Amino acid sequence: MRPIKLFIFTLLAFTLPLQANIRLPKLISDGMILQRDADVNVWGWADANEKIAVSIDGKNYKTIADASGNWKVVLKPHKAGGSFSMILTGNNKIEINNILFGDVWLCSGQSNMELPMSRVKILYEYELSTIEYFNIRTFNVPQKYNFKTPETNYQYGNWQQVNPQSILNFSAVAFFFAKELYEKYRIPIGIINASLGGSPVQAWMSEEALKAFPDELAEAYKWRNDELIKQTESHDAQISNAWYAEANKKDAGLGNPLWCSVDLNDSDWQTIEIPGYWGDKFSEIKNGVVWFRREFTISKEDAGKKAFLNMGRIVDADSVFINGKCVGNVTYQYPPRWYNVPEKLLKEGRNQITVRVVSNAGNGGFVPEKQYELTTADNIIYLGGVWKMKQGCEMPVLPGQTFIRWKPLGLYNAMIAPLNNYVKKGIVWYQGESNTGKPEEYTSLLTTMIADWRSKFNQKKLPFIFAQLPNFMEEKSEPSESNWATFRVSQSKVLSVPNTGMSVNIDIGEWNDIHPLNKKDVGLRLAKIAQKVAYGEKIIAVAPFVKSAKMVDNKIVITFNRLGNCLSTFDGKNPREFAIAGNDGKFAWATAEIHGNKVIVYHQSVTKPIKVRYAWADNPGNPNLTDTEGNFVSPFQIYVK
């Protein structure tokens, strides 16, 4: 009889429907921060018609999963604080712990939002060594694309509390933004970081939003072809792998002897001043691999001890050797070259440093006006100056990559759509560098995206705060056209959308780095905007914006749009970076003077000016126009009436 019973039991096990466990999105997990003072969604998946119970802080909620197994409960508004535990019960039981109620901010954009604290650690050693904020937490969204359908969950991810270890992976801008708000209001701050380097705004827009931009939507539809993606990625990888394999094969510096050897005879090598680019000085040096060597001296006190090597930035990739031993390498041009030198490597007297540089396109070398130095316990050894140089091999230009992940729609579907249900305090956006090629269209793109995100999040008035692009690239001695200046104006026009705010950063960029290291001031300025836009503070968070310009006695009188906050300059001098043009369209630097809330601009040789510009350049030389609160005036151009 037992075998028959066992058979019947087994048969029933295969024929009876299995009960599904409650499942939760990755966002609903231990350590999460939920939005205070608001109806908050908690959602997930279960069996069709399964009864779900949710309890938190003595409050109980019930719901029933729909026919597809989707369910949601809405928690009543809760004041800031915690921590709390949440119990969810259905066919199974789940307990979520260490929950806080506070303010949740979505921080999104491209590389300057993505850039982690580890990339700026030299500037913020105090924050890295001592910071431990139980009430500041981040959820880093996995970087992924999907052109076919909006996703409902992330493959992985968890909430992390800020401490000296986790902060290294925290967006630097987002951290300083969160830290400022936390210290101001003493409420928990949660950051959802959904950002990806190089991404244009179109990649963050939904299918519905892209319908207003048919060409972009057509491009998105093109990449719904899995075979096309596979072929493109495979093709790009094959070309890249073959290029680097050929470079390594041809590189004489990897032969015998190795060019990083201490005792190498380099008497036939050329000399070059570092920093700088080899193409500016030696036309015969081409793309490929170029080696650099020099000696430096270590004192008896520093010999054998740890040290820190700062090799600025190098275009494109590098491997650095000290006394023949590799101390680090970076495979692309943007990160700073910060390398730790281990104990026992440095010796008293003469030491050898060798740098192997791989340049796959453009002008390779060492970025000017960066730091190149070795820091020991007691000394700083400057490594700029004369180096020896020799080409290891010449290579053709490496064809550009397709970067499928930057195509329209993909990032919205995979990185934004899964958090549609998660209630937020606001959005912080730092993006635009990848859209400066067509600056005029940005206003429409970003305005459309803001409206769409608010609709998808079901938060029609959700504050949207964004960073205006800072100064970048070489200064120009004469007034000239500028895509970046045009782009900044396009950003300013987005302020016509209600509940938006923009931080002006025209003074804190770096001419030689699209990723300026000063992320603290960016975060603080964005937090100041948030205090006004999202928290209703009666503060002056931005300088006045230009309103009109008219001719008076052959001078241009510029009026700004807010009274009660006088104009000033941060250095007490007359305003700089003003230019005016007549009917011929040729701009000339002009004299500018502040008179209360107006600026008077003139130039003796331009008798009938029709247009005036301020800080109109990729990198304006030294803009100084502010208000009395120290807020910088946004770059502008305006016609004279």
Q: SS3 of 87, please? A: strand
Out of 3-17, 31-45, 550-564, give the one with best mean pLDDT. 31-45
| DSSP code of residue 102 | E
pLDDT at 550 over 60: yes
Tell me the mean pLDDT in the region 452-480.
Answer: 97
pLDDT at 428 over 60: yes
Q: φ and ψ at 417, to 5 degrees?
A: -55, -35
- The letter for the amino acid at 623 is P
What confidence score (pLDDT) does residue 9 get? 43
User: What's the 3-state SS for 449-510?
Assistant: HHHHHHHHHCCCCCCEEEECCCCCCCCCCCCCCCHHHHHHHHHHHHHHCCCEEEECCCCCCE
What confidence score (pLDDT) does residue 378 get? 86
What is the CB neighbour count within 10 angstroms for residue 122?
A: 14
* Cα separations in angstroms, 513 against 28, 368, 510: 38, 10, 5
Tell me the mean pLDDT in the region 89-115.
Answer: 97
β partners of residue 638: 612
Element (H, E) at 307: strand 307-311
Give the pLDDT confidence of 589-626 residue by residue, as tens digits: 999 999 988 999 999 899 889 999 999 999 998 999 99
Quickly state the pLDDT bin for 132 (edges 50, 70, 90). Answer: confident
Distance CA 469, CA 129 (A): 30
> Alpha carbon 256 to chain centroid distance?
43
pLDDT at 14 over 50: no
pTM greater than the 0.75 cutoff: yes
Written as one string, the DSSP assignment of 208-250 is HHHTTSHHHHHHHHHTT-HHHHHHHHHHHHHHHHHHHHHHHHH
What confidence score (pLDDT) does residue 86 get? 98
Tell me the mean pLDDT in the region 98-107.
Answer: 98
The residues, ordered by sequence, that sit 6+ positions from 22 with a Cβ below 8 Å of its Cβ are 44, 45, 46, 50, 52, 88, 89, 90, 91, 92, 94
What confidence score (pLDDT) does residue 270 get? 96
Measured between alpha carbons, how far apart are the two ends of the chain, in Å? 103
The sign one gets for the Cα dihedral 435, 437, 442, 448 is negative
Distance CA 143, CA 415 (A): 7
pLDDT at 178 over 60: yes
What confidence score (pLDDT) does residue 459 get? 98
Element (H, E) at 367: none
pLDDT at 5 over 50: no
Give the pLDDT confidence of 271-321 residue by residue, as tens digits: 999 999 999 999 999 999 999 999 999 999 999 999 999 999 999 999 999
pLDDT at 2 over 80: no
Quickly state the pLDDT bin for 6 (edges 50, 70, 90). Answer: very low
The residues, ordered by sequence, that sit 6+ positions from 417 with a Cβ below 8 Å of its Cβ are 150, 151, 152, 206, 456
Quickly state the pLDDT bin for 18 (edges 50, 70, 90). Answer: low
Task: Kindly state the tokens that stand for 596.
Answer: 């209360």
Task: Kindly state the tokens that stand for 14.
Answer: 């295969």
Give the pLDDT confidence of 447-457 residue by residue, as tens digits: 999 999 999 99
The residues, ordered by sequence, that sit 6+ positions from 503 with a Cβ below 8 Å of its Cβ are 465, 466, 467, 468, 522, 525, 526, 528, 529, 542
Distance CA 240, CA 290 (A): 19
> Alpha carbon 641 to chain centroid distance?
40
> Alpha carbon 173 to chain centroid distance?
8
The overall average pLDDT reported for the chain is 94
